[in-house]
Structure 1
């Protein structure tokens, strides 16, 4: 884990240096993005990691198709972390493959928990989506490496409606599938199964040239009854009802 983390930190530092260098040359080949969401609960791939409000800051830097990013989960309550602190930090490095017909990315993710020392996960992934003016389909595939714990697949559809020059409404649906080893690792349930699904609505308002505020709401659920039972028995923030309504208020800035 330390080796993977070191590689990602080096990539992040290199990207930062390249970004500043390009800014000095006034050449627009690099970009950065910052997001600060406050979320009513932390639900990931159907797993209720934290059923209390959290802050999940995200930052990414892109240079010539290469992107490095950092994401964190900051607990606003000490129920699971024991204090107001980050319970998890994830580092990602990816590359956008230069093709004209779709947006295809490959990369690796290093999940770094700060509370559960015995939990760690490293994944390689491939994502693809087909941008168009109607409905945007996407597929995502994640496979663990080092300690192999299976794979997770996701398929989704999204659509954005321009309500005005500064206001847009986005609708999204996705469904996830887990391999047998992934389901044993995540829920203690054997067998390849449909895992989770979610629908969401987001209202994105432009405050400035690159500043946005986005309130959103998501309804998430687990498809399989055995997965639901496993979630109740194994997850630290397990709820008696696997269906969950999640609210979010996010600020976004790109430069």
Structure 2
């Protein structure tokens, strides 16, 4: 049995250490003054017109061993395929993302080998603005959710608004706040850091870590247990059973290592592996109670997960 308190302490210590490093970063990375060089001024000529900014985008396809979202296990025993298309222009961006489960499963029904199912489509619109060392953004996400398999109840769609801020410095710290505005009624706070080690112009190693806090503003155990997604985010007891109390605690941590390789100028292939774990006992019980994997008794389900896959991305 893993010591959840120890994991949470280690994760928070890492995040605080990152913050201390960041406070010293401006001194560490101050540019050295360049010597003045006298050169002859070129003859004045007609000014070149500014190059017009063009739309940019990418098409991505990921094949993963499991689908995990904010610590929740949404697939098991089968590959999930997740295509995505993003278009951006002058700070505005739009994305569509989907999930195809090649072997759907729902806890309690048994591993019956249902045929593949497209069970989620997400639409995201956002705007970002660079202000010196800061990047600020805000946006909207619509999660169109279907049943996890043909025998499961349909899930309620989700709508979120979010705001994000990141710092262009060591570890690229990013803080994002999500607010659910339809059925689930919660705030989700996410702090992430990452660093990329360049091996060559073609290959690099990226290490990322994140920690979250979930603040539920609504909980109904009876509706939650009905399985349609109208019960909010309840707190779970020590037997991993939903209660009418609201969840308010540190939630999930995530550690990811990926190896992006540029196959061509536009094509990148990135194998990755991730470890997801609860940051509190409340989160452990909730992730067990909401999970799919394991026997039908919630307390015997998993609360930490190791999964991986490969992502191919074509930029244009």
* Aligned pair partner of 2:139 in 107, 111, 115: 107
SS at match of 2:285: helix
1:171 paired residue number: 207
Shift of 1:38: 0.7
2:165 paired residue number: 128
1:14 paired residue number: none
Q: Which runs of 5+ in 2 are unaligned?
A: 1-50, 107-112, 148-152, 220-230, 237-245, 295-299
Q: Distance in 2 between matches of 1:234 and 1:187?
A: 10
2:125 paired residue number: 93
Q: Which runs of 5+ in 1 are unaligned?
A: 1-25
Shift of 1:121: 1.0
Q: Distance in 2 between matches of 1:148 and 1:185?
A: 4
Q: Distance in 2 between matches of 1:199 and 1:182?
A: 29
1:152 paired residue number: 188
Shift of 1:152: 0.2
Q: Distance in 1 between matches of 2:173 and 2:160?
A: 23
SS at match of 1:229: helix
Q: Distance in 1 between matches of 2:156 and 2:183?
A: 11
With normalisation by structure 2, the TM-score equals 0.67
Shift of 1:218: 0.7
Shift of 1:32: 1.0
Superimposed CA distance per residue, residues 21-41 of structure 1 (whole angstroms, 9 cap, x where no aligned partner): xxxxx9542101111111111
Q: Distance in 2 between matches of 1:205 and 1:213?
A: 5
Matched, 1:202 2:248: no
> Larger Cα Rg: Structure 1 or Structure 2?
2
Report the aligned-residue RMSD. 2.2
Superimposed CA distance per residue, residues 36-69 of structure 1 (whole angstroms, 9 cap, x where no aligned partner): 1111111111111112321111111001111010
Superimposed CA distance per residue, residues 125-163 of structure 1 (whole angstroms, 9 cap, x where no aligned partner): 01121123x321110110011346111000011000101
Give the number of equivalent residue pairs: 229
Matched, 1:34 2:69: no
Select the structure that is richer in strand: 1
Shift of 1:225: 1.8
With normalisation by structure 1, the TM-score equals 0.83
Q: Distance in 2 between matches of 1:50 and 1:188?
A: 22
8 Å contact kept, 2:158–2:184: no
